Amino acid sequence: MSTRGAGAQARVLMIGASGRMGRAIVRVAAERPDVRICGAVVSAGSADLGRDAGELAGIGRIDVPLRADLAAALAECDVAVDFSSPAAAAANLAACVAAARPLLIGTTGLGTELAADIERAARHIALLVAPNTSLGVTLLLELVKRASQALPDDFDIEIVEAHHRRKKDAPSGTALALGRAAAQGRGQNFGEVAVTDRNGARRSGDIGFAVVRGGDIVGDHTVVFAGSGEQVQLMHRATDRNVFARGALAAAAWLCGRASGQYHMRDIIL
C-alpha cells in the first residue's frame, strides 16, 4: 500500500504516457506542487520505450523512463492515471486492483463489457471513470441534468460535438455522458432514446447526436433544448488540451487516501 503522508506530493503513474493526453499530463504535472510523475507506462511494442517522459512531453528530462512493466511501476506510485486505449483498459484495471492502487480511467470509447469489471474493481480500490476530466464539463453535466428536469418534455434534446480529425470514437464519450445526464433528468432509459445515426424524422423523446470531425479541434460540446419558439443551449468549448490534464491531476490527487468505491468528477467540485 502507499505510504504517502498527509500533505505530501501524490506520486502519479501515467499509463499511456506517449499519447496526446499522457504527454499533456506530464507537462502540467511539472507545474503543480501537489503531484509528481513517478512512472510512465506504454505498450510493449511502443517505439517510445526507454525514452524519458519529460523529454517526450517537451519539458526536458525528468528521469522517468517509459517502460512496459505496469506491475513494477504500480509498486512505486500512489495513484495511476490511465489514458491508454480501450483494448488495454481491462488489463490495466486488473493490475491496479492487484497492486491495491487507486485509478483514474480517462480513456474513452470503453465497451459496455467493462462495466462489470469496473463494478467489481470498485469494491477493492478507489476508482474514478471520467470520459472528460475538465472541471467545466463536470459542471456542464450537472447543468444539463437540471435543465432536463426543469424544461417540459416537448423541448427536444440534441447534442452536437466536434473534435480533431484523428479522434476514433463517435459520438465522443463526453457527448454520451451529456446524453445520459439529460436522460436521467427526465427519468428516461438512455439506451431507448439515444439516436446516434439518425435516418428519417425525429421521434418524440429522442436524444439526438451530431458529430463533427476535423482539423485540430480540441473539443466542443453543445446541448440544445429546442422548444416551440425558443431554445436553450448549454455549451463547453475547450481550446487547450491542458484543461483535461489539470482536471485529471486534480482528480488523481483527490483519489489518494480515499476508501474503495466508484467516484465521479462531480465529487471533486460539488
Full pLDDT tens readout for the chain, 270 residues = 444 555 678 999 999 999 999 999 999 999 999 999 999 999 999 999 999 999 999 999 999 999 999 999 999 999 999 999 999 999 999 999 999 999 999 998 888 889 999 999 999 999 999 988 999 999 999 999 999 999 999 999 999 999 999 998 899 989 999 999 999 999 999 999 999 998 889 999 999 999 999 999 999 999 999 999 999 999 999 999 899 999 999 999 999 999 999 999 999 887
- DSSP string across 139-186: HHHHHHHHHHHHS-TTSEEEEEEEE-TT--SSS-HHHHHHHHHHHHHH
pLDDT of res. 7: 61
pLDDT of res. 112: 83
Class of 135-238 in CATH:
alpha beta
Supply the pTM of this predicted model: 0.83
| Lookup: cell for 74 | 504500480
pLDDT digit string, tens, across residues 74-90: 999 999 999 999 999 99
CATH superfamily of 10-133+242-269: NAD(P)-binding Rossmann-like Domain (3.40.50.720)
What is the spatial distance between Cα 16 and Cα 41, in angstroms, rounded to a whole number?
Answer: 6
pLDDT of res. 113: 84
* Buried-state track 159-193, b at ≥16 Cβ within 10 A, e below 16: bbbbbeeebebebbbbbbbbbbbbbbbbebeeeeb
pLDDT of res. 131: 84
**Of 229, 228, 205, 198, which Cα lies nearest the Cα of 148?**
205
pLDDT of res. 1: 43
What is the spatial distance between Cα 25 and Cα 56, in angstroms, rounded to a whole number?
Answer: 12
Phi then psi for 126, rounded to 5 degrees? -75, 125
Provide the CA 259 distance to its chain's centre, in angstroms: 20
pLDDT of res. 234: 98
What is the spatial distance between Cα 119 and Cα 266, in angstroms, rounded to a whole number?
Answer: 18
* DSSP 3-state of 57: helix
Domain ranges within the chain, ordered by starting residue: 10-133+242-269, 135-238
pLDDT of res. 4: 53
What is the spatial distance between Cα 56 and Cα 61, in angstroms, rounded to a whole number?
Answer: 9
| Lookup: cell for 101 | 492502487
Catalytic residue list: 163, 167
**Of 115, 49, 110, 102, which Cα lies nearest the Cα of 83?**
110
pLDDT of res. 84: 94
